[in-house]
Amino acid sequence: MIYGRGISTLPSKNKQGGNLWMRGVVLSFDLDTAKLKSYFSKTSPQGAYDVIKRFLLNNGFEHKKDSDYVNVNIDKVATVDLLVDFADENKWFPLCINKMNISPNVETLDISIQIERLTDKEWKKQKDIEKENEYELER
């Protein structure tokens, strides 16, 4: 059974009783390159990622990184329905999936600035000097 088609076994509520999926979904996938060469294109198998990306962007998803996409206006059932439609039009797709996950879109906290503040300035200075010395030797 495909989640979303029929009775879904994906959890819908968190421990506090709130809807896990109220902020939309995160979709992540990995494709099998060898199978892409057989079923999508022998010469440009990575083009499949562009085909999927274009489809997802046209259907309200935002590309985050690599093969990670977010859509805040869709639920898990509609996501699966969308993927079923894509597979109907792209026969190679179900044959080439290594892994495909949908999960609730939870709040994200960007802590990049806090991590950057942990920089050891002396260590960085030494690395910068080493890099400059290597550059000077190469000239």
Domain region containing 59: 25-108
What CA–CA distance (Å, rounded) separates 8 from 66?
28
Give the per-residue pLDDT at 1. Answer: 43
Angle, alpha carbons 123-128-130 (nearest 5°): 95
Contact (CB, 8 A) for 5 and 84: yes
The larger pLDDT score, comparing residue 47 to residue 6, is at 47
Average pLDDT, integer, range 16-38: 85
Which helix (H) or strand (E) element contains residue 28? strand 25-31
Q: How confident is the model at residue 11 (pLDDT cuts 50, 70, 90)?
A: low
21 with 12: CB under 8 angstroms?
yes
114, part of any domain: no
Does residue 131 lie in a domain region?
no
Counted domains in the chain: 1
Average pLDDT value over all residues in the chain = 86
Q: Which residue has the tokens 């010395």?
A: 133
Model pTM score: 0.69
Asked if residue 36 is part of any domain, the answer here is yes
**37: CATH:** 3.30.70.240
Residue 52 lies inside a defined structural domain of this protein? yes
pLDDT exceeds 80 at position 34: yes
Whether the Cβ atoms of residue 87 and residue 55 lie closer than 8 Å to each other: no
User: What's the pLDDT score for residue 7?
Assistant: 45
Residue 137 lies inside a defined structural domain of this protein? no
Residue 136 has pLDDT above 90, yes or no: no
**Has residue 13 been placed in a domain?**
no
